């Protein structure tokens, strides 16, 4: 009897807490008419109706694009740029707007060979925001990137790689293509062993790869910085050429048409 009562109490608490859980997770907003999952409720926002989502480059050339998220940051970005400078290697930096505003001195005069993309203002989960919220995150970041670098970003990576309908709609409004990734660093798996992390990337990368890394964060990400030179050297020994994401996408091979299916 006591177990049954406790079980019943647990169910009651769970039922009572369900709205709070849904709200905390962002699931209590409607999937249509303005919620985070809405994708076509404001077609007036679609200035660019052909927004694309890229996981990798469509090429068989031995090209690879390294990308760094979340910076610029004092403890990481200068070290990453130093390694790339020594290797004469380009990369793409998806920057947080608030960090550009705080630390733009770190990148002044150092981005000539690199590409810059938008990674939101404050790194929220954009997949739980409505169009106005996502657009504000992107617009503010776009403004500071233009102000402090003179660049007009055309690429956007959502924090955590999470996509909601309103995220795509805001990208269409801004004229951005979305960039995700095909390969990534595994700092937890190779904790304290930058050589193993480097070997993993060198062995696993395939033509057209977009590699996710970070130039901000906690100490575990040091293994990426410490192994970055070895990754570049190893990939070049395999015949790969490092390029920016825009260069990778520009090298895309034309799509071939598949068989035409009859409609019944």
C-alpha span between 111 and 120 (Å, rounded): 19
> Which candidate in 54, 103, 123, 214 is catalytic?
214
pLDDT value, residue 47 = 76
Distances in Å between the alpha carbon of 217 and those of 72, 128, 222, 234, 260? 11, 23, 9, 25, 48
pLDDT value, residue 44 = 74
Mean pLDDT by 10 residues, the chain (264 residues): 44 46 51 57 74 96 98 94 98 98 97 98 94 96 98 97 91 95 92 91 98 90 90 98 98 68 41
Give pLDDT tens digits for 177-194: 999 999 999 988 888 888
pLDDT value, residue 223 = 86
> Which candidate in 41, 69, 183, 215 is catalytic?
69
- List, in sequence order, every beta strand (DSSP E) within 140-181: 155-156, 177-179
Active site residue 88: no
C-alpha distance across the termini of the chain, in Å:
60
C-alpha span between 134 and 132 (Å, rounded): 6
Active site residue 69: yes
C-alpha span between 223 and 221 (Å, rounded): 5
């Amino acid at each position: 009897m006591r177990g049954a009562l406790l079980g019943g109490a647990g169910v009651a608490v769970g039922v009572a807490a369900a709205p709070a859980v849904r709200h905390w997770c962002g699931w209590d907003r409607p999937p249509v008419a303005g919620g985070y999952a809405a994708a076509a409720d404001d077609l007036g926002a679609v200035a660019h109706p052909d927004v694309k989502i890229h996981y990798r480059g469509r090429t068989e050339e031995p090209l690879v694009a390294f990308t760094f998220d979340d910076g610029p940051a004092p403890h990481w970005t200068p070290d990453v740029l130093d390694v790339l400078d020594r290797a004469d290697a380009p990369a793409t930096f998806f920057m947080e707007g608030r960090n550009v505003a705080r630390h733009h001195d770190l990148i002044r005069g150092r981005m000539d060979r690199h590409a810059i993309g938008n990674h939101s203002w404050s790194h929220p989960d954009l997949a739980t925001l409505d169009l106005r919220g996502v657009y504000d995150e992107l617009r503010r970041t776009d403004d500071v990137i233009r102000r402090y670098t003179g660049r007009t970003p055309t690429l956007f990576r959502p924090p955590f790689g999470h996509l909601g309908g309103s995220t795509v709609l805001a990208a269409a409004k801004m004229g951005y293509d979305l960039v995700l990734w095909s390969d990534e660093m595994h700092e937890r798996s190779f904790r304290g062993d930058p050589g193993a992390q480097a070997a993993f990337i060198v062995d696993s990368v395939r033509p057209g790869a977009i590699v996710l890394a970070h130039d901000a964060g906690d100490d575990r990400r040091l293994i990426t910085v410490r192994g970055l030179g070895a990754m570049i050297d190893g990939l070049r020994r395999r015949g790969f050429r490092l390029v920016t994401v825009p260069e990778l996408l520009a090298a895309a091979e034309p799509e071939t048409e598949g068989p035409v299916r009859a409609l019944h």
